Structure 1
Amino acid sequence: MKIAVIPARGGSKRIPRKNIRPFCGKPIIAYSIEAARESGLFDEITVSTDDQEIAVVARQLGATTPFMRPKEIADDYTGTAEVVKHAVTWFLAQGKDVSHVCCIYPTAPLIRAHFLREAYDVLAGSDATFSFSVTSYAFPIQRALRLTAAGRVIPFHPEYRMTRSQDLEPAYHDAGQFYWGTAAAFLNGIPMFSERSVGIVLPRYLVQDIDTMEDWEQAEYMFRTITQR
């Protein structure tokens, strides 16, 4: 079976109740659940949470909460991979044969179902262990600048100072939306950021990390602009 795991703990600090805070008319976690359902890929869409209110909202939106996340993996220091591993282990203990897992972040309102499908198809049709969303940097990273204590500018890579932008290699970063992997890869702790992973390139207008209220407002502007086109 294929499962989606949406990690949504209750203790967000910078944006209180972040995972169920209203975003353009609905709890932000709703967009991740809806995209998972629309993809048609999953036998179960599970929200891993330590919070009863989040669990209730998740069930109202069509997800399942078959377990409550233990406190020891619900703090500020627990990584996503550990949360997914716990969920996979739980399903296996119930006698359910999990082959593939997709971790979908709960604060990804710009997520699209067709990218979830593309990422699964790429993973299932290759020898990769993971496939996840990436996007390109908006400016060449080779032109990055360092500021000294006095505010003076020093290039990180002065050798590229005179190189044309179009001649510089494009660079990408994690888009922070979803992470497909084989169940075995999550269980065995295989590193995600390696040559064993495939990057699914998203357009930059669909990518916005949400860690601060400024990020949140930016994401709402982007969402409204996209949905009104």
Structure 2
Amino acid sequence: MIVALLMGRGGSSGFPGKNIYPVLGRPLMEYPLIAATRSKSIDRIFVSTDSSEIKQIGRKYGAAIIDRPPELCSSQALGEDVYVHAYDHAKKSLGEPIDLVVLLMCNAATITGDLIDEGIQILRCHPEYDSAVSVSSYNMWSPLRARKVGDDNLLHPFVPFTAFGDPKTLNCDRDSQGDVWFADMGVSIVRSYNLEHLEEGLLPQKWMGQKIYPLKQWGGLDVDYEWQIPQVEFWLKNHGFDNSDTNV
């Protein structure tokens, strides 16, 4: 049994209504639902939310709805706790063991059914892996370039340069330390064990477990601000979507 769990709440202080914000003629959250329905491997789709609008859109794609409790609807609630709650609900609802869980986010549209199926196949072929996660390379955000404001109100390295090796080998070339891969939150395909033993996972996204396989793509991100929408639209257009209101 392979299930998809889509997470999204109604409230958002940084970008109100982001999960249902129109993108190329569709609410943002429809894109991960489209990916889940296009997957050849997903058996059931669940949506965890407190929003009536999100519930309605989820039902449009045949998803079962999980009512998220109020304590998991605040901005302080951790995504890992929402996923565990949804997983426990789905497992009880289905009445049978779940092998793999495809974790999706309403505000992360940069995902395709093909990439989901690729990750599922990787985990089938490699039982030693804990998860397969979509990642994008953003060398311009290398931790080598990260800064923080010190007590003197000046910029200082966020990570000590010695953490990257011999400081004499470092330079301003953003590619000098190799590609920098970030989990872009498009999808995390995880074994059920990860959610049942969250305390064993690697920070900061403990649901990914310890042995994490990278599903490499470009330009992936989860939307937190309105100014990110043009990047999502660019990505979607390059993956075959347009402004047609026909379900694809």
TM-score band by shorter chain is 0.7 to 0.9
How far off its partner does 1:124 sit? 2.2
User: What is the TM-score when the length of structure 1 is the normalising length?
Assistant: 0.85
Residue 72 of structure 1: aligned partner = 71
Give the Å deviation of 1:45: 0.7
Aligned length: 226
CA deviations on 1:68-106 (whole Å, 9 max, x unpaired) are 111111211222221121122112323232111111111
Counterpart secondary structure, 1:134: strand
Task: Give matches, 1:85-96, under 5 Å.
Answer: 85-94=84-93, 95-96=95-96
TM-score, normalising length: structure 2 = 0.79
Q: Structure 2: where are the runs of 5+ without partners?
A: 162-166, 243-248
SS of 1:104's equivalent in the other structure is strand
Aligned equivalent of 1:123: 123
1:136-187 Cα deviation digits (max 9, x unpaired): 2234837526487787897964423459776633321111111111112112
User: Distance in 2 between the 1:48 and 1:228 partners?
Assistant: 26
C-alpha distance in structure 2 between counterparts of 1:182 and 1:194, whole Å: 8
SS at match of 1:6: strand
Structure 1 position 119, deviation (Å): 1.0
Contact 1:142–1:160 (8 Å) recurs in 2: no
User: Could you tell me how far apart the structure 1 residues matched to 2:16 and 2:141 are?
Assistant: 35
Paired residue for 1:213? 226
Aligned to 2:188, the other structure's residue is in SS state strand
Mapped contact 2:132–2:190 kept (Cα < 8 A): yes
Over the matched positions of the two proteins, sequence identity in percent amounts to: 22
1:121 match: secondary structure: helix
1:185 pairs with one of 191, 194, 207: 194
Partner-residue secondary structure (3-state), 1:219? helix
Q: Note closer, same or farther for the CA distance 1:154–1:195 as it changes in structure 2 (3 Å cut).
A: closer
Report the equivalent of 2:246: none
Q: 1:227 to 1:138 in 2, by over 3 A?
A: farther
Summarize the Cα distance change of 1:26–1:128 in structure 2 as closer, same or farther, 3 Å threshold: same
Report the RMSD for the aligned CA atoms in angstroms: 2.8
Q: How does 1:11-30 map to 2 (within 5 A)?
A: 11-30=11-30
In structure 1, stretches of 5+ residues that fail to align are none
